[in-house]
Structure 1
């Protein structure tokens, strides 16, 4: 798409950033499965990472995209049932929202029930994650796999109305922990609830469901990363058999690198932020404006993406401990807003100084409108 709207170098750079995003996002799910398996099965964090990732690796390598989609359907049903079961048990055990508010007040945290408390801190996550998820490659891969535009619209609308209450259920389940536990349990509130408040049969069902949720996300990220590496970044054209071998090799590489990242950084939030930041600051502006500003040029998009990438890598170097000067608070809303504004400024100025590419923009927009009809 970016090659049709801009140029091949822009498309290659986008593919590289997508690969970076998929690597770190897959690693964040490896952290999740390591924490969950390690605590629930008593095998330790490292053992949990290796065991959970190995399961995903097997069916991702031999099932391909079709296998990932089919397992995603089953895993979503298991996730939904497990989330509802844990939520019901959590609310029964804690007594509902009233006791949660009372426990928060007793612990000196009256802002616990507020939707706006800590907004400046969490605005960074809203902007970064929101912008990156809006253009996330594995999401658009699913949309592109639908039979027609009608199914694509239906799928996105249904997802909107399903995921908002689903995420709210997960949040409320976590909030119940302030009543049920004096300190945060090892492995998290959900794992502790499963172990302490459920029958063995229900606990087994919930374990399978939560594992399915984690692995469903991980397999999508690994699969998209492998496809990006083989189809967009490796030079040359290959027959079907060679491409299959390369895809399996790429899957192994992504899994291996993801495991190394998950063993180095054991925070889901930190890894996900790193992944999302590069997409938000480097890709969001030229990709979105490709559909709305016909004056945007290939050179403008390339310069904007390179500038965003440099900005992201500079902040990442500071985060990893390199002694570089920081001119803004790290991992803050200001950092994200500055990155997006810088990308927008470079894209706009470079495009205006460059020769217009109206023929390319008009052809792209016409084809996009035709496909949407």
Structure 2
């Protein structure tokens, strides 16, 4: 049986709620546009964001479509081991970056007027090469990440309306483009506040509905133990989550966020250290509560909505909402799932725009271009990149979760030059560039699924990809890739010329 046969939504109600939600997003974008009159406002909100906006925007950027669909499906398939895979990492995904790099990025950003991570890297390494490399690789990995979120929105739209998936992809993409193009990061972060609150409510409601449908936690756990004891312990019901996999996921989601430009750039928007610490506390609480509950729904759903198979598992949360609450509230909660994708798309769209208009065009190709000219160009590029993301979503080269994991890993390779650049004075620009290039060349064939390689016309790399995956010892490809990138960066830095003493003093004083 198809999921569309299992869900019987009130189509009129769904359109009414979703339409109202889209109108509110567009209105926030219009409001934000009235206060976005400079390049600094467009990219970092003038460095004046408060704790509430910063905290909610940070966790909603991390909270993507897979949190509501892909990960609960994994929990449905594996049981409690699926829950332990992502929750610990998500809980620390704000604390660790804030403690390790956040304070320094706030100070350097305000002092030197940094608007993007490439601004920081280019200045720290006195290198246009690393600035352009960061911008190019960022766009390469960010567009698929945005596309994955839009794919999820399209799937939900199709399931709950019966209309073609591409219509949901296009509608979602256009709304995000509008409020990002007009309001910049302010539009993205203010819409994130509403989206974040909606996501938390959706997670709480879905959890208690699933609990009630299954007869309570004690009854559900007893039933799970009776059905299959493997639901209760690693490596899970299908054996997919041994300890190396658990370690990989926790490290990926907590530590490697340091290298994600969409998340790291949030520190440039924050007013000061005090705001950062309040934002981290607020965001961590929001992430911990909502991520734990929504992924727990996947475990509860094994009993509450039994018998799902294959791709049907991705719909465990929508199914529980549709079965357990009124049509109006079901439509509102489904909008919360779409909000998870939109809140990630908007931040990615702004940072990728900055990669082209600011990092490549203004700082490399036309250094005489004024900020006013770049602001106009940024709005155009936002539209262009948004359209590319929409086309990627229609193309749909692989499963949502596969695309997200691949893109996230590619973005977070930059944790290497960021960390070494902040804590090791001897790191050189040549070493940083070499480490990132080697890391990317190792990571792409090691992590890309056969479906992605085929879609990219790189099927010739499949034997190499399989051989490299066999060398990971069960860990995610990002873990060994990072060690390779670190080793290359350190070795090359030891034999190449360091940056000037003036730059080191500016960054380490």
Q: Normalized against structure 1, the TM-score is what? A: 0.88
Name the counterpart of 2:10. Answer: none
* Distance (whole Å) between structure 2 residues aligned to residue 150 and residue 19 of structure 1: 32
Name the counterpart of 1:299. Answer: 430
Is 1:286 aligned to residue 428 of structure 2?
no
Q: CA deviation at 1:200?
A: 2.2
The structure-2 alpha-carbon separation of the partners of 1:75 and 1:297, relative to structure 1 and needing over 3 Å to count, comes to: same
* Distance (whole Å) between structure 1 residues aligned to residue 358 and residue 440 of structure 2: 22
Please tell me whether the aligned partners of residues 18 and 228 of structure 1 are also in contact (alpha carbons under 8 angstroms): yes
Q: CA deviation at 1:316?
A: 5.7
* Distance (whole Å) between structure 2 residues aligned to residue 205 and residue 278 of structure 1: 34
Is 1:323 aligned to residue 460 of structure 2?
yes
* Distance (whole Å) between structure 2 residues aligned to residue 126 and residue 43 of structure 1: 38
Matches within 5 A, 1:302-313: 302-313=433-444
Please tell me whether the aligned partners of residues 32 and 214 of structure 1 are also in contact (alpha carbons under 8 angstroms): yes
Q: Normalized against structure 2, the TM-score is what? A: 0.66
Q: CA deviation at 1:59?
A: 1.8
User: Of residues 8, 16, 19 in structure 1, which corresponds to 2:139?
Assistant: 19
CA deviations on 1:123-174 (whole Å, 9 max, x unpaired) are 4444444444223222222221122221122212322232122210111112
Name the counterpart of 1:158. Answer: 282
Name the counterpart of 1:35. Answer: 155
The structure-2 alpha-carbon separation of the partners of 1:256 and 1:312, relative to structure 1 and needing over 3 Å to count, comes to: farther
Please tell me whether the aligned partners of residues 100 and 175 of structure 1 are also in contact (alpha carbons under 8 angstroms): no
Please tell me whether the aligned partners of residues 15 and 232 of structure 1 are also in contact (alpha carbons under 8 angstroms): yes
User: Of residues 176, 198, 207 in structure 2, which corresponds to 1:78?
Assistant: 198
Please tell me whether the aligned partners of residues 174 and 189 of structure 1 are also in contact (alpha carbons under 8 angstroms): yes
Matches within 5 A, 1:1-373: 1-6=120-125, 7-108=127-228, 110-114=229-233, 117=236, 118=241, 119-184=243-308, 185=312, 188-234=315-361, 235-236=365-366, 237-262=368-393, 263-280=395-412, 282-315=413-446, 319=450, 320-321=453-454, 322-324=459-461, 325=464, 326-329=466-469, 333=475, 335-357=477-499, 359=501, 362-366=504-508
Gaps of 5+ in 1: 368-373
Q: CA deviation at 1:358?
A: 6.4
Query: For structure 1, which segment, 344-353 or 308-317, has the greater mean C-alpha deviation from structure 2 after superposition?
Result: 308-317
Q: CA deviation at 1:53?
A: 1.7
CA deviations on 1:78-135 (whole Å, 9 max, x unpaired) are 2222221122211111123333333433443x22233664133454444444444223
Q: CA deviation at 1:64?
A: 2.0
**CA RMSD, 1 decimal:** 2.5
Q: CA deviation at 1:205?
A: 2.6
Gaps of 5+ in 2: 1-119
* Distance (whole Å) between structure 2 residues aligned to residue 49 and residue 100 of structure 1: 36
* Distance (whole Å) between structure 2 residues aligned to residue 206 and residue 338 of structure 1: 39
* Distance (whole Å) between structure 1 residues aligned to residue 408 and residue 351 of structure 2: 15
* Distance (whole Å) between structure 2 residues aligned to residue 44 and residue 105 of structure 1: 40
Q: CA deviation at 1:206?
A: 1.4
Tell me how many residue pairs correspond in the alignment: 365
* Distance (whole Å) between structure 1 residues aligned to residue 168 and residue 227 of structure 2: 33
